[in-house]
Amino acid sequence: MAQAKIRLYLDHPLAAGQPLLLSQAQAHYLFAVMRLAAGAQVLAFNGRQGEWLAEVVQVSKRGGTLRALAQTAPQRAPPDLWLMFAPIKKARTDFIVEKAAELGAARILPVQTDFTNAERIRQDRLQAHAIEAAEQCGGTFVPEVADLAPLARSLDGWNPARQILWADESRLGAAATLAGLAAGPWAVLIGPEGGFSAPERIRLGALPFVTPVSLGPRILRADTAAVAALTLWQASLGDWR
């Protein structure tokens, strides 16, 4: 069986014959780690123009060049689902971003809630995780990871056309169902280890575009809750149907 081709995200226009310049890190990966030589073929995508077969034209330590040959898959966008989550410990936050990209979130928004411990995030690192997840899962879309923003401010400027599915730990044990909810633009909201504060619950409970949801009879860690809520949404209202 032929070996699966390497998939590479390139922030570069893709068209037949188009030369594609590699960054030093990409060149290191392709030529030093994977030992590709001139003529080897890889798959490239830029998040906008589908997936393309490309061949190695020039090998160099500092960079090198590919040439795009032909499109192998059309561009596919995930449903209009955002993930809002309160960042937790580094490895678990990385996990949340990686899984959100795999599960088909269109945008990832870290939010600072009353009980969020993290003061800042490394947006560039998290974005790199989203790119790696897209490369690995066969996707042609890379969700944007936004910078950390206070939840209160995100809610102040919220477009009410986008509904929020609030994973509400106080509904523990209720049926975890999205029955009766309509497809459309949504955002899933997951709290931190400490859950949501009383003022946050009052505010979220009063917003007409917020729907609280249970994630079953057990308290899930925030990283598990993010995966569970995205799965529930995708299966009920998203592109798993």
Q: Which residues bind ligand SAH (CB under 6 A)?
A: 167-169, 171-172, 190-191, 193-196, 214-216, 218-220, 222, 225
**Cα angle, residue 143 at apex, residues 124 and 88 outer, rounded to 5°:** 55
Distance CA 151, CA 170 (A): 19
C-beta of 139: minimal distance to ligand SAH in Å?
A: 25
C-beta of 137: minimal distance to ligand SAH in Å?
A: 24
Q: Which is nearer to ligand SAH, 54 or 109 (CB)?
A: 109
Q: Which is nearer to ligand SAH, 6 or 207 (CB)?
A: 207
Distance CA 158, CA 152 (A): 10
Q: Which is nearer to ligand SAH, 226 or 237 (CB)?
A: 226
Q: Which is nearer to ligand SAH, 54 or 190 (CB)?
A: 190
- Give the number of other Cβ atoms within 10 Å of residue 2's Cβ: 4
C-beta of 98: minimal distance to ligand SAH in Å?
A: 18
* DSSP letter assigned to residue 90: H
Is the Cβ–Cβ distance between 56 and 20 less than 8 Å?
no
Is the Cβ–Cβ distance between 79 and 68 less than 8 Å?
no
Residue nearest to ligand SAH (CB): 191
C-beta of 215: minimal distance to ligand SAH in Å?
A: 4
Q: Which is nearer to ligand SAH, 148 or 215 (CB)?
A: 215
C-beta of 225: minimal distance to ligand SAH in Å?
A: 3
Q: Which residue has the tokens 């995205």?
A: 230
Q: Which is nearer to ligand SAH, 218 or 241 (CB)?
A: 218
C-beta of 94: minimal distance to ligand SAH in Å?
A: 17
DSSP H helical ranges for the chain: 24-27, 90-103, 123-137, 151-156, 198-206, 222-237
Helix axes 90-103, 222-237, angle to 10 degrees: 10
Q: Which is nearer to ligand SAH, 78 or 195 (CB)?
A: 195
For 201, residues 6+ apart whose C-beta sits below 8 A from its C-beta are 168, 170
Distance CA 154, CA 37 (A): 48
C-beta of 232: minimal distance to ligand SAH in Å?
A: 10
For 32, residues 6+ apart whose C-beta sits below 8 A from its C-beta are 61
